Structure formats: structure tokens, C-alpha cells
A and B are shown apart, each in its own frame.
Chain A
Amino acid sequence: MTKSTPPITAHQLVRAFGDVRAVDGVDLEVAEGEIFGFLGPNGAGKSTTVRMLTTLLRPTDGTATVAGFDVVRQPARVRAAIGVALQDAAIDPLMTGRELLHLQATLYGIGRSAGRTRSEELLDRVGLTEAADRLVGGYSGGMRRRLDLALALMHEPAVLFLDEPTTGLDPMSRVNLWDEVRRLNTEQGTTVFLTTQYLEEADELAHRVAIIDGGRIVREGAPSTLKSQVGLPSLIVDVQIGREDAAREALAGVGEYRPARAGRVAIGLFEGAAGAAEAVRVLDAAGIAIEHMELTTPTLDDVFAEATGRRLEGAEEATP
């Protein structure tokens, strides 16, 4: 892969199953050393896109390159350059963690001695050294995912694909895996293509995200940029009933009016979150006591709702 070729590119990528276009003209460009979040609901086309990029599924139309190699014309070169941890961690439950790592080393053409050394390094890295000789069938979900990650890292891939890596994990295991992905990215500069249906995961990990819905990318950019495009952060202030009008008047220069129930004032801060301090000052100067205050910023779910009219978290209709 040359410096000038992005690790992952896709141009008008299409995959049809009969009359259904699961992926319908996806354009992507992932930069070197980037964690790229691919976000969307179930059935949006995330996994189909990953399967095409990892050579598991031939595109119906369009082109894609991974690590500088064409996924259709140079699939073997692509496979040798990527690490893949697929959905549901397809790990043989009748083998031990160490056996699977040794097998993985052989499959990637790594010599016996080097493979064993690398296996021990990876077991240590993902915290599975003690469990290495236990059958994987006895591992917890979090341990399986960590082993899956270790397997994907065996040959030090330039590009790592993680397909819904934390689905079904408890919060602690999820955070541990995020830490490991972050460490991998910062310490080794590995480019990571991460599909997820969890907004928080994309927000926590990804430098940039693409939101896919109905096989098409509907938004793409840095999470902070996408969120800022949706609207201003909201400040909600609870005041004494009857003081709402005075509070609104005082806050008029700090933010735009938003409707709220009795005893509450809501504004969209002109200066973003930094405007909250000024809001406190003007309310204090007007002699209005603050009973409760809450600052809310737009989420990626708001971005998704703005783009599709639906919420990603839950199936309810987006409210304006």
C-alpha cells in the first residue's frame, strides 16, 4: 500500500440479491490510521459492505480497493493484508484459544516458531494467557471477542475489519474492547473499519463515521461535525413558576427560544456548550434562581433521525 492510496476505497459499490439492492451505490474513502465507524440499523447494508470489502462476497457493480488491492481482481492480496473479526465471533468452541492462534498463524503463512511467539504476545495483550488452554466453548462472550480480535491481529494486518464487535457484550466487556481497539490504533497506527449499530460505540471510537440506511450512505463525517450540523446544544433551565418570561428575556442574547413546559425555559445556545456559563451569569444578574439546569448536545441518533426521519435507538418516529 502506497502512501497515496487510502487503505479502503469504494466507488459506487453495489450488491443485489435478486431484486433487492442490499448495498446501493456506496462511496467510501478511509484514511490511513483512521478508525472509521460504519453505523446503521440491522439490514441497512453494513455487513454486506464488509463482506464485499473482505472478499467474502463479490460486488454486483462498482469497485473497491483494500490495502491498495482491488477486491475482485486481487482478492488473495487483500486477504493477506487484512484482519477480520466477523459478526458473532465464529470461533471453534472445541478448540483452545492457544490452538486457534497457532492454527491462524499457519493459515497466514507464519513459521511455527514465530507463530508460537506471536500467539503468546497476543494472548498477553488481550488478557487471555491464563485461559489459553481452556476450550473456547467455556469462554464468556467478552473473552471470545478478545480472542477473535487476537486472531485478527495475528499477521499484524494493515487494515482491521471489526463487524459489530461488541454486540451482545456486557458494558464492562464492551469498554475493555474499545480500549483495546483504541490502543491498537494509537500504538500501531492500524486502520480500523468498524461496523456497529451502537451510537455510543461509534461516538467513542470513530474518527469519522458513515451512516448507512437502505443500502445508501446518508451522512458521512466526524461525529462532532455531524452533530454540530444537526443543531445547537440545548440548555434547559428549571426556574420558579411565574419567572419563565423573565428568564427567557434574560437569555434572549445567549440562545434561541425553544418551547418548554411550565417552570422550565429551553434555549439553543448560539455559542455552543461554551454559552452555558454566560447563561448562568445573565440569569444571576437578573436575580432568577436556578433550580435545575441541563445541557444536552445533539447525538448521532439525532443525526440519523435528521437524515432518515427515524430513530436508530428504538423504532419510534423522530420528533422535530
Chain B
Amino acid sequence: MTATVADGPRLHTGRQAAALGRRAVVRFARQPSSWVPATVFPLLLVAVNSSAMGGVANIPGVVPPGTTFLMFLLPAAIVQGVMFGGINGGSELATDIQGGFFDRLVASPVSRPAILVGRLAGAVAFGVVQAVFFQVVLWPFGADVVGGLPGRIVLVVVAGLLSLGLGSIAAGLAARTGQPEAVQGFFPLVFILLFLSSAFFPVQLMSGWYQRVAELNPLTWMVDGMRVQVLEGFSPGAAAVSIGVCLGICALGMLFATRQLQRRLAVAS
């Protein structure tokens, strides 16, 4: 019998990762429970914060003249949406493990990196869509981006990278536990980290330990870099800080995910 398997699995890693990435995106799109909260909750939070704390914008030095508190909150909305999406994307790996689809993949000649890359591709795609969506939806309400198209692109790139970083941490937890619930349990921790940053409130108006923690929180550096694009104009330096923080999260996340996946695969031959 002639098997139609071609010249070995490694040559097909790209195609395999792309096919698994497509599957991740399709699954995401077909599960409203994955993307509706990630889309609606950030908008609600922005609406509430904007109404409740809009007056903060009148305090000198918080936002530049001619800008709004909604513009101040635009990066927060994007980051919050990306957090939902990235963690959901990672937890899908746990769903595959629990449901047996992971075994199907492992029993096939699919390249092992393609399993992880394909899964994270869905999270990145969603992060990019989120960044575009929030910019478009909030624009009519005054959430313009002073940095123009380059500034908007920075927001999209940061969103994609942050999705990859958070998605890989979530995928690592998925590989370790095999339980979607355990991965979802990671979300509150990330959310607390976001609240302990400048995402929703200016650092200069904070006080005491809270201000100190926020200043040291890398998420503050990332959000502030995005905020410069929105409130002041395109800044390559600020963009580099945001992207750098994301790349750091990506490096840690990918290392963790790869280790945990290797550990899970070690039981196989």
C-alpha cells in the first residue's frame, strides 16, 4: 500500500501551522462566548469610566489640550479586549487536550511547533481585529488618534504582540493542566495587574504604594507608550517601549509554553 504522505513532516510546518491557525480563527468566530465578552466588556468599562471620571481630563497635565478622557481610555479598551481574547485563545489548547483533539494531532505526523503556533495564530488574529474594532467603534464618540495612521498601526501591532504573549502564557498553563477552567483562572490575575497600571487612571493622580506599584508595572510602560500615539502624536520611541514590553511578555510566554508542551509531549514516544 502506498501512503500519500509526502516528503516528511518538517517540510510542511508552515502549511500545518497555517491550517491549524485557520481552525483556531474559525472556532473563535463560531463561539460567540469567546468574543462577545471580550468585545462588550471593554466598551462598557470605557463608557462607565468615561462618564464617571471624564472630569479628570480638566485637571491640568492629565491629557493634552484638545483631547478627551475617552482618548485617554482607548489603549485601556484595546488592552482589556486583548486580554480576554489572548487568554481565551490559550485556553482553547486545554479544550483540545480535554476533548481528545490534541491526541489526534500528536498521533499524526504534524510538526510539534505547528501545534503551538497554529493555536496562537488565532489569538493574534483576534487581538489585531480587536485593536481595529475599538478604534473604529470609539472614533465617532471622539476617540481620535493624534498619531494618525502610524499611531494606529502601533496600537494594532502592540495588540497583536500582547495577544501572542498572553496567549502563550495561557497555552503554557493549558499544556500543564489540560483544564480550560485552570487557564481561565489566570484571567483575574492579569486583570488585577491591569488595574495596578495607568490603564484606567493617570499615574500622576495616584498616591502612595498604589502609585509606586503602577510606576513599576510594565503594563504601565506599555499602555503609556500606546497613549502617546493617541494623545500626542506618533512617537517611535514610545512605540518601541510598548513593543519592547510586549516582546518581553512574548519571550517569557513562549518559553513557558514551549517547556510545558514539551513536558506534556514527553509521555509520548
Q: Please report A residues at the B interface, Cβ cutoff 8 Å.
A: 52, 54-59, 71-72, 75-76, 78-82, 84, 86-88, 90-92, 94-95, 99, 102-104, 106-111, 114, 118, 135, 151, 155-158, 188-190
Which residue of B is nearest A191, CB measured?
Answer: B1
Taking a contact as CB atoms under 8 Å apart, the answer to whether A90 and B109 are in contact is no
Determine the distance from Cα of A81 to Cα of B15 in the docked complex, in whole angstroms: 20
Taking a contact as CB atoms under 8 Å apart, the answer to whether B3 and A81 are in contact is yes
CB of A10, distance to nearest CB on chain B (Å): 13
- 27 of the cross-chain contacts (CB-CB < 8 Å) are A55-B107, A56-B103, A56-B269, A58-B266, A59-B269, A71-B269, A72-B269, A76-B8, A76-B9, A76-B109, A79-B9, A80-B3, A80-B8, A92-B27, A94-B27, A99-B23, A103-B19, A103-B20, A106-B19, A107-B105, A108-B5, A109-B8, A135-B30, A155-B4, A155-B5, A156-B4, A190-B1
Q: Is B2 an interface residue (CB 8 A)?
A: yes
Taking a contact as CB atoms under 8 Å apart, the answer to whether A110 and B4 are in contact is yes
Q: Is B191 an interface residue (CB 8 A)?
A: no
Indicate whether A103 sits within 8 Å of B109 (C-beta atoms), given known contacts A80-B5, A94-B30, A158-B1: no
CB of B43, distance to nearest CB on chain A (Å): 26
Q: Is B59 an interface residue (CB 8 A)?
A: no
Within 8 Å CB of A84, what residues of B? Answer: 104, 107-108
Determine the distance from Cα of A88 to Cα of B99 in the docked complex, in whole angstroms: 9
Contact partner of B107 among A86, A99, A102, A111, CB < 8 A?
A86
Q: Mark B200-239, 1 if CB is under 8 A from A, else 0.
A: 0000000000000000000000000000000000000000
Within 8 Å CB of B5, what residues of A? Answer: 80-81, 108-110, 155
CB of B10, distance to nearest CB on chain A (Å): 9
Q: Mark B156-194, 1 if CB is under 8 A from A, else 0.
A: 000000000000000000000000000000000000000
Q: Mark B102-119, 1 if CB is under 8 A from A, else 0.
A: 011111111000000000
Q: Is B268 an interface residue (CB 8 A)?
A: yes
Task: Known pairs A90-B99, A155-B4; list 15 more (Cβ under 8 Å).
Answer: A76-B8, A76-B9, A79-B107, A84-B104, A84-B107, A86-B107, A103-B22, A104-B108, A107-B19, A108-B5, A108-B109, A109-B6, A109-B8, A109-B9, A118-B4
Contact partner of B3 among A99, A102, A104, A156, CB < 8 A?
A156
Taking a contact as CB atoms under 8 Å apart, the answer to whether A99 and B16 are in contact is no
Q: Please report B residues at the A interface, Cβ cutoff 8 Å.
A: 1-9, 11-12, 15-16, 19-20, 22-23, 26-27, 30-31, 99-101, 103-110, 266-269
- Minimum-distance CB pairs A-B, first 7: A90-B100, A75-B269, A109-B6, A106-B19, A55-B269, A80-B109, A79-B109
Determine the distance from Cα of A72 to Cα of B269 in the docked complex, in whole angstroms: 5
Taking a contact as CB atoms under 8 Å apart, the answer to whether A107 and B100 are in contact is no
